[in-house]
Structure 1
Amino acid sequence: MSVRIQFDHPPSFYTNLDFISGRVILSLTSDDNVQQIVAKLEGESRTQLMRPSIYPTPHGRRDARASVAGENHKILYHVSTIFPSKESAGENIGNAAYSLRPGTYEYPFRFKIPLNNGCADPNAQGMGPGSGFGGLGLGGLQQMQYRHVKKTLPPSLTGFPGEAEIRYYVKVTVQRPSLFKENRRAAMGFRFLPIESPRPPLTSNEAFARRPFAFQPGVTIPSKTSMFKKTPTKLSDTPPTGEVDARLPSPPILTCNESIPLRVIVKRLTESPENIFLTSFSIHLFGFTEVRAQDVSRIETSDWVLISNIGLSVPIGSHTDPVGTENLLDKGLWDKISLPPTVTPSFQTCNLSRRYEIEVRVGLGYGVVGEIQPQSITLPLRFQVDIFSGIKPPAALLHAIANQNSVPAPALPA
């Protein structure tokens, strides 16, 4: 006997309110008895951390089980009996077995992915065969002992082997009546991305990070003289000063697989006969994953270099610009750069959360055209940002949320 799962036209990812359907394919080479076939749609948020050794034991040994803290939240758990059918099951008494002839059998299944996680719901944890006393079983009772939050289902998460993982899969179990024949199981995972929360209305407001800059006069590096080399232009004693702004629409939101809606402005604050030049430009994204397991927590930091340009000599405005002139950097430096596919949306679930910061690093130099001084200044400009999946919620869901928010609060008694 062998069993496998096949999805119907699987996309690159599934999202909330999608239907995930497919077939369970059972192959028999001889007569066999089957009690029932159960399909499950499951999602797990699993964490495991080492506890710090505050009180060392003799010889430096610790109980391995006591030193490890772990949580496994069943954030998604739906069960469906796909064999026998309801009609066939009603004709049999008790846990009768069905004898199947050699051949290949296909049993369809279909699940709908919900909007929110269900690990805090006792009813969602106790469905299906083998649920044990009170309909919960050991797994359901364990879920009730954890701290839960009710949020939109989190995205699939990898990259922290043995420490943190969020995975989604369909699992099938072929239950056999004989104690001497083990049940057959198969599982197939899929990638999940959540739909976005409703975005705030668009406004002209911007979030910004700002840093001033000032070059030091008279800082030069001597070079070898040559009769064929042009004599360097003498610089003034008043090098340019100013400030740099990096701006994002407020609230600052980035979208997966889309360009960054960034504006970078350089403002001249003093008069100077020298020009300001852009010498380097880079954008870094930092992800902070908070991992929690019982009484232990830690924060893992990830870093993505979205763009890095060095060795530039791009003039920013002109030395004849009036004081207070704002010069906008060319968006061509970054407008074709999108977030990499390894970046997941911001999320929060019971034992894991992910937040982001973006840092724009602007390198500046000064001098005259063709003769940039070796002195350079690098200004880091950092924001806290939210990252959305780019999957818009259905109009019906937005309408329902709007109606819910518009319900007036009950009047207090006089």
Structure 2
Amino acid sequence: MERSSHIECHQLIQESLQIFPPCGQLDQNTSRFRTLGPKQYTFPFSLAFPTVSGCYKAHSTKCLEKQSQSQTEPAPPVREQEMPHLLRRLPPSTGNRSGPAEIAYAVEANVNIGGFLKQSIKQVSRRIFFCPTSSLPPPRQSLSRHRAVMIRCHQSTNETTAQEVTAAIARTYHVSIELMCGAYLHLGQRLPIRVQVTKVNSADHDLILNDFQAMVVEETEVRAAGQVRVQRLSRILRTVSNLRMFVCLAETPVGTTINIPDDFWGGQLLPTVITPTFETCNVRRSYKLEVRLGFNSRPSKVQTRILEVHFPVHIVATEPAPIPSSILRFSEKQQDNAEDTIPWQGMTQ
């Protein structure tokens, strides 16, 4: 955590696999040592990621050890309350070392090289990018927010009567902003936003949509060493100004509901670089969608009414996310050399 020396590491998963020699090919008549000639070899393998993290298993074992010790020894004073380990899906790769939290996955290979006098171990580590995908959730009930737009037809003066002021304020419009897919947003897909405007009172002016903005607010909550830190990051998805779109004309009948075309935000895709929503025992990533609309009465008037609504959303990935450029890839030279390597299935003892 920032301004603190508290660092906590949680091992989410640990899977081991003997690649060569394969465990299935070892028996009493086969030695576990094999001699390889002076060539370059490849040993393909695959590991299945578990559906949930495994840190709760280590936590449960630790709790059992504490219970056995407490039966024979007095319990030490509790200084800090330990955070519970949650049974959750594996979180995606996110963050970096300079941030408040980092979730990283790596593959480590240990090569045991035997000799006449001693045995050496060569270790190789490589980070991998992991982003779990989810199936499309069933259709859910839409979320909507309702606001009122009140626009005065004229500026108030000393000669303006209270009745005229009340009539000016009463000329309102009801604006409904709706997320048609509910609280779920899918990476790489369109923003399902629908805006409807209903004229409530008669008016001698036009209602004009002049500004639109959609923004995702990311919130990361980190809990470590009894402390909680919250970091927020805003990502603007779309900003459009000077639209001058006539929504309701002065002669539009009272009670008319108008659907604003989504030409200005319907083609906006949710960037795939956003990390899906997740929660672990010490890190939680949540999102909020903010939509702002700016209305005025005439293009010549600068008086603008800004409507702002917030939707708590759950961001999911339904397709594999692109690998970030920060993840190392094989160079062309390595790929050329890999074509000349020999897989272990084709080797003879």
TM-score range, shorter chain: 0.7 to 0.9
Question: Alpha carbons of 1:219 and 1:184: their partners in 2 closer, same or farther (altered >3 Å)?
Answer: farther
SS in 2 for 1:70: coil
Partner of 1:82: 19
Please give the alpha-carbon distance, in whole angstroms, between the structure 2 residues aligned to 1:303 and 1:188.
31
May I ask how many residue pairs the two structures share in their alignment?
287
Native 8 Å contact 2:136 2:318 kept in 1: no
* TM-score, normalisation: structure 2: 0.73
Would you say 1:379 and 2:307 are equivalent positions? yes
Query: Deviation per CA, 1:24-56, whole angstroms, max 9, x where unpaired?
Result: xxxxxxxxxxxxxxxxxxxxxxxxx147xxxxx
Question: Alpha carbons of 1:242 and 1:117: their partners in 2 closer, same or farther (altered >3 Å)?
Answer: same
Native 8 Å contact 1:257 1:339 kept in 2: yes
Tell me how large the CA RMSD over aligned residues is.
Answer: 3.0
For residue 186 of structure 1, report the CA deviation from its aligned partner. 1.9
Partner of 2:250: 319
Please give the alpha-carbon distance, in whole angstroms, between the structure 1 residues aligned to 2:43 and 2:58.
29
Please give the alpha-carbon distance, in whole angstroms, between the structure 2 residues aligned to 1:356 and 1:301.
9
Native 8 Å contact 1:155 1:166 kept in 2: yes
- Matched letter for residue 187 of structure 1: S
Would you say 1:298 and 2:229 are equivalent positions? yes
Native 8 Å contact 2:112 2:119 kept in 1: no
Please give the alpha-carbon distance, in whole angstroms, between the structure 2 residues aligned to 1:340 and 1:310.
21
Please give the alpha-carbon distance, in whole angstroms, between the structure 1 residues aligned to 2:276 and 2:186.
8
Query: Deviation per CA, 1:359-411, whole angstroms, max 9, x where unpaired?
Result: 110000103xxx4311111111111111111249xxxxxxxxxxxxxxxxxxx
Native 8 Å contact 2:290 2:311 kept in 1: yes
Question: Alpha carbons of 1:358 and 1:364: their partners in 2 closer, same or farther (altered >3 Å)?
Answer: same
Partner of 2:161: none
Query: Deviation per CA, 1:47-81, whole angstroms, max 9, x where unpaired?
Result: xx147xxxxxxxxxxxxxxx422222221211001
Alignment of structure 1 residues 199-238 onto 2, 5 Å: 199=137, 201-202=138-139, 205-219=141-155, 238=168
Question: Alpha carbons of 1:314 and 1:251: their partners in 2 closer, same or farther (altered >3 Å)?
Answer: closer
Question: Alpha carbons of 1:160 and 1:270: their partners in 2 closer, same or farther (altered >3 Å)?
Answer: farther
Would you say 1:257 and 2:164 are equivalent positions? no
Alignment of structure 1 residues 18-57 onto 2, 5 Å: 49-50=1-2
Query: Deviation per CA, 1:311-351, whole angstroms, max 9, x where unpaired?
Result: 12110032222223222111111111111122111111122
Alignment of structure 1 residues 13-412 onto 2, 5 Å: 49-50=1-2, 67-86=4-23, 87-88=25-26, 90-91=28-29, 99-122=35-58, 147-158=84-95, 161-176=98-113, 183-196=121-134, 199=137, 201-202=138-139, 205-219=141-155, 238=168, 240-249=171-180, 251-367=182-298, 371-391=299-319
For residue 300 of structure 1, report the CA deviation from its aligned partner. 0.9
Question: Alpha carbons of 1:161 and 1:249: their partners in 2 closer, same or farther (altered >3 Å)?
Answer: same
* TM-score, normalisation: structure 1: 0.62
The unaligned stretches of length 5 or more in structure 1 are 1-48, 52-66, 126-144, 221-236, 393-414
Q: Share of identical aligned residues, percent?
A: 26
Please give the alpha-carbon distance, in whole angstroms, between the structure 2 residues aligned to 1:317 and 1:265.
11
Please give the alpha-carbon distance, in whole angstroms, between the structure 2 residues aligned to 1:354 and 1:341.
16
Higher strand proportion, which one?
1
Question: Alpha carbons of 1:360 and 1:307: their partners in 2 closer, same or farther (altered >3 Å)?
Answer: same
Please give the alpha-carbon distance, in whole angstroms, between the structure 2 residues aligned to 1:193 and 1:363.
37
Native 8 Å contact 2:108 2:123 kept in 1: yes
SS in 2 for 1:184: strand
The unaligned stretches of length 5 or more in structure 2 are 62-81, 157-166, 321-349
SS in 2 for 1:81: coil
Question: Alpha carbons of 1:320 and 1:123: their partners in 2 closer, same or farther (altered >3 Å)?
Answer: closer
Query: Deviation per CA, 1:98-129, whole angstroms, max 9, x where unpaired?
Result: 5544322222212112211122224999xxxx
Question: Alpha carbons of 1:277 and 1:296: their partners in 2 closer, same or farther (altered >3 Å)?
Answer: same
Native 8 Å contact 2:217 2:288 kept in 1: yes
SS in 1 for 2:263: helix
SS in 2 for 1:286: strand
Please give the alpha-carbon distance, in whole angstroms, between the structure 1 residues aligned to 2:9 and 2:114.
30
Higher RCO structure, 1 or 2 (CA under 8 Å, sep 6+): 2
Native 8 Å contact 1:219 1:375 kept in 2: no
Query: Deviation per CA, 1:155-196, whole angstroms, max 9, x where unpaired?
Result: 111256243111223221113457987532222333222232
